[in-house]
Each structure stands twice: as C-alpha cells, then as structure tokens.
Amino acid sequence: MQAFDIDLFVIGGGSGGVRAARMAAQRGARVVLAESGGTAGLGGTCVNVGCIPKKLYSYAAHYAEAFEEAHGYGWDAAAPKLDWLKLKENRRSEISRLNAVYQKLLVGSGVQVINGNARLIDGHTVETTTHTDGMAATQRFSARHILLATGGRPQVPEFPGNEHVLTSNDIFFIEPFPRRLLVVGGGYIACEFASIFNGLGASVTQLYRGAQVLRGFDDDVRNFVATEVIKKGVDLRLNSDVASIERVTEGLLVNLRGGGSVIVDAVLYATGRVPNVHGLGLEDAGVAQGSDGSVLVDVAYRSNVPSIFAVGDMTSRVQLTPVALGEAMVVVDQLFGPAAGKAPRSMSYDFIPTAVFTHPSIGTVGFAEADARREFGDISIYRSEFKALKHTLSGSSERTLMKLVVDNASDRVVGLHMVGADAGEIVQGFAVAMKAGATKAIFDSTIGIHPTAAEEFVTMRDPVVTTQ
C-alpha cells in the first residue's frame, strides 16, 4: 500500500472546506488545509464578502426605516444619520473575529493550516506556495484524498468601461458612501444590495435585462417583491441593460442599451458567479470540468479522478453555504466514517429552504407554482396578502405575501413562499415540517400563534381559483 504524507488535503478555507477539514481531523485523519487568503480568508465568501456582512448591512439599513415607523408608536426623535465609516469598521472587526474563530477551530482540531496557494500536480500530489518577507517558498504534499472547496467568484461581462464597475466582493469597502448607486442584475445578490443601499440612504437604480427579477423563484413572489421594493424607493428598470460606462466630471456616465443614460457615483455588477478554479491545476491532474469550469462530480462528490473530491459552489449545484456544509459532511463520513453512534450522512436537494434579504425579505422552500404544475399536475394554491399588524400604526404601506402549493394527490404541502418581515426565520421552521412530509391537513390542524404573521400559514383554508 502506498504511503502518503497526509490523509486529506483541503484546498479552500470556506465553509465547506473548513467543515470537512475539522471533522476529518476529529475522526483521526491527518489533514492539511490551504487558504490563499490566509487567516483573513477563512470562512470564504459567506463570512468575508457574502451572507454575514450582507446581513449585517441589511440590519443597518432597517434602522432608518424603523426610526421613521416609530413615529406611529409615539416616538419623536431627530432624523438618524448614518456613520458609514463606523459601520464599515464595526463590520471589519466582526469579520476579523470570525476569521480568528475559524483559525482556532482548525488548529484546535489538529489541522495544519497553510496560508498560501495550492495547486494539483496529480491525483495525489498538491504543491503549495507561501510568501514570507517577499520570498516565495513551495512545498509538496502527497495526500490519500484531496478535497477541492474553492467556491465561486463574481463575473463581470465584457463591455466598454467595465473597468469602472464594482462587484459584490468590493461593495462592502466602497468609500465614500455612494449617494447614487446603479445595481445591474436581477438575481438575489443584486436585489439584496439594491434594497440594502436604498435603506442606507442611497438613491438606487437597478437594471435587469429580463422581464422580471429573481428568475427561478415563484412568479407571485417575484412580482410582489418587485412592487414592494419600488414602493420603498428603488428605481427598478426591467428589460434594460448597460451599453457602456465612462467617467465624467459628475461621476460615472452609464449609457443604456436602446438609448438613455444615468449618472451615478458607483456601479455594482451582480450578474452571476463562476466557479473559482483558475490556477488549481485541474488540467494537470486530469479533472473533468463543465462548460462553466465547474468540477464534475458524482453523487458522492467524487470527480473522475477517484482521489479528488469537490463540494460547494465550484460544482455549480446549489450555491448556498448550508449546502456546502452538508456536502462536506457526506465526504467526511464516506472517507473516514461517521461520528460515533451516528449513521453516515447523505445529502438531499429536495426542499432546501432559502431566504433573500430584500426589504421586505423573502423566504421560500419547495416548488414554485409553475414547477409544481409540471411535476405533480393537479395542485391547489393557497394565497394570502395582508398588512402586518405592526404596520397598522407604523404608517408603512408594506404588505406581506404568503403562499402554499399543495399536491392534491397526496395532500402534501410541496411549496411554501413568503415575502415579509423575518421571512427566513419563519420559513425555516416550516421547512422542517415539509421535509417530514407534512400535509395540508396537518397544517390545518395546527394551532397558530396569535397575533403573528406566521399563523397565516396554518389558517389559509380555501384555495384560490387559478388559471393555467
């Protein structure tokens, strides 16, 4: 039997990579993890330039709205003023704390952490490059197994003036605060940042080349949230796109396809992400890739090279942090056995809940209505739209949408969607029930918590009449 330096080499210190390295080391495996961003890169996109700082900025954006709404509850105060530098510094401090936590967890588990780049030489060999005092040093490791977990990166299309744009990796650090912001894109990242910066006080224009934002979500959700964000002040322009950008005295002149232009302080492009595979040596190791560069894996996350595995965004499956964590645990249990007394993990992509932190937010799990009709045929739709109790005094015109999709043959609730305050928090609990196969009859027999928005999901008795 061939001897190896280590049992598992993990390339990438994001959520999936860190989880796999820690858990494998706790099983007794010899583990090395390489992260090109060093300690400051641990946690990956989610911790550093993704869901964590984005949610913090979303919280920040809600405060101005909350101050305004407080007048209806008898509170009088001067208009709040955003200290952008303070927000950025506090965010930086919190992210640094999390980076250090990840470092401590890895080292405490016995993982050797390398702050440098790593590339494949072959199916069992990894070469790392580190830099100290301007000097580069390389080292080679032989590994029984290799796990790729380098995530994804934003992609900006080619067009005149694209050097002037920011991506979601950059927007957290922008200085000064952009009083006029153009957001290009219609996915959840674009929609979230449009809401966030609108809430923080920027004048936000959002362009999307399609007919409606949030492609892939339920149509009722898409239309409803678009109406709500427009009410809150986002200038959402559909069927619109950028032709070119140039810097002028007044800022950035953005020329639009079909005519017209806008002048802004900054342009954020959130038009898609691609697998982060550049420089990994996939070709040298013979790892098969998809047309978008993603690593092709089987149901066990094994590539065509038996010793090399991949999880997370670089496989172009479901690009969510909890999914990467789940995939990582499947790999660990497969290679090193499950935790004592536990069955080996498996990963199902059915009924994965997700949230979009627009204002108001979205929570969703299961099938959109159109997808459910294709999958099940005979379905019933339950839908409710209302003003939340909070806003009866707040003065806000914000409304809430709740929707259930039911397979009539089994009575199972196969889709659940919400637009409104705390949608993600509410939908998470219902996701457990749906994963367990809850029927509409079970929903109907459940007593609601009153007065809450969530109780609406268990009090919708009559299906709506729909036209197919």
> Which of 185, 151, 157 is CA-nearest to residue 171?
185
Q: Where are the beta strands (DSSP E) in 149-222?
A: 152-154, 180-184, 203-208
- Which residue from 123, 149, 406, 411 is spatially nearest to 281, judged by alpha carbons? 123
Strands 251-256 and 242-248: antiparallel
Asked if 294 and 131 touch (Cβ cutoff 8 Å), the reply is: no
Instruction: Give Dmax (Cα) for the chain.
Output: 76
Mention every residue, 6+ apart, whose C-beta is less than 8 A from residue 135.
none
DSSP-derived 3-state class of residue 246: strand
Q: 454: closest CA among 464, 446, 463, 466?
A: 446
Separation of alpha carbons 382 and 404, rounded Å = 5
Q: Is-contact 41 48, C-beta < 8 A?
A: yes
Please list, residue by residue across 341-365, b when 16 or more beta carbons sit within 10 angstroms of its beta carbon and e when fewer do: eeeebebeeebbbbbbbbbbbbbbb
Catalytic center residues: 450
User: Considering only CA atoms, which of 190, 152, 117 is closest in space to residue 290?
Assistant: 152
d(CA 30, CA 273): 33
Structure tokens at 278: 């550049």
Give the residues across from 355 on adjacent strands.
363
For residues 113, 116, 120 and 121, what is the CA-based torsion angle, rounded to 10 degrees?
-110
How many residues in total does the chain contain? Answer: 468
Rounded distance between C-alpha atoms, residue 362 and residue 173, angstroms? 26
Task: Tell me the β-bridge partners of 113.
Answer: 33
Q: E strands within 62-123?
A: 112-115, 117-122
Q: How many CB atoms lie within 10 A of CB 453?
A: 20
